[in-house]
Amino acid sequence: MLHNKKEFYSGVGLMVAFLVVLAIMFMPVFNGHNGLNYMDNLYNSISKGSAKYIPDLKKKAEKQSGNMITASVVMKDEKQARETAPLFMKSGAMVNVDGSEIKVSGDFGKILTNCLEDADQMFNNKGEGVKAKYASDERLTLYNWWMALKALTKDLNKQKKFVETKFIGDINKRAVECAYNYYGVVPQDIGDKWGIVVFSLVFYVVYTMWYGYSILFMFEGWGLKLEH
């Protein structure tokens, strides 16, 4: 038997309304997207607008011009090595491919500058330029850059070139990864969407409490009590 019918049915009503709103959120009623996808795309576009690291990295890469390196870059397999070799060749480096290993000798600054140019094109959704440059899929090119820089880091660490490897890590994380993940996303300024952003944050808090109170009212109306 119900302890408090009014409270119990109030909780049931809140839960039904909660589920109705939840169902609407999963329908493609927000510019052809469901609510979750719409908000995910919105926050991605806003975060991209503030992730402008590449110009600063380019300036730092220019300071590495004239720093000559020789390294062994070991890729996953022969196919990836063949796909990756042109990245270093377009950087003006001397390249020799032997199986999955790429012997690279060239200007460290020019290699990183070329990588950053490709990442910049991808970040600005101009992947066709990267695709034409290497006659290869632009996403694959950026992925191979990421793998190549990780392999280059391993060899330079063995040579105790720790300043260089730290900079490579910054480029991989803040330029290559960033450009790959944001490719195709149109950046937006949060000031242009502040109303939606504020609404979404308030709605998240209210919607969470909404669910909690519906459970609370149903349980208390049923006669269950939480005790310490």
* Residue-wise pLDDT tens digits, 83-108: 999 999 999 999 999 999 999 999 99
* Residue-wise pLDDT tens digits, 127-169: 999 999 999 999 999 999 999 999 999 999 999 999 999 999 9
> Which domain covers residue 217, as residue numbers?
5-30+190-222
Locate tokens 């909404």: which residue? 210
Q: Is residue 46 situated within a structural domain?
A: no
93-101 long-range Cβ contacts below 8 angstroms, 24+ apart: 100/74, 100/75, 100/76, 101/72, 101/73, 101/74, 101/75
Q: Is residue 158 situated within a structural domain?
A: yes
Average per-residue pLDDT for the chain: 90
* Residue-wise pLDDT tens digits, 24-79: 888 887 777 777 777 777 777 888 877 889 999 999 999 999 999 999 999 999 99
Of 115, 74, 68, the closest CA to residue 98 belongs to 74
Rounded CA separation 32/50 (Å): 26
Of 111, 166, 118, the closest CA to residue 143 belongs to 118
User: DSSP assignment of 3-33, as one string?
Assistant: S-HHHHHHHHHHHHHHHHHHHHHTSS-BTTB
pLDDT > 70? residue 228: no
Q: Is residue 42 situated within a structural domain?
A: no
On whether both 78 and 149 belong to a single domain, the answer is yes
On whether both 177 and 198 belong to a single domain, the answer is no
- Whether the CB-CB separation of 67 and 164 falls below 8 Å is answered with yes
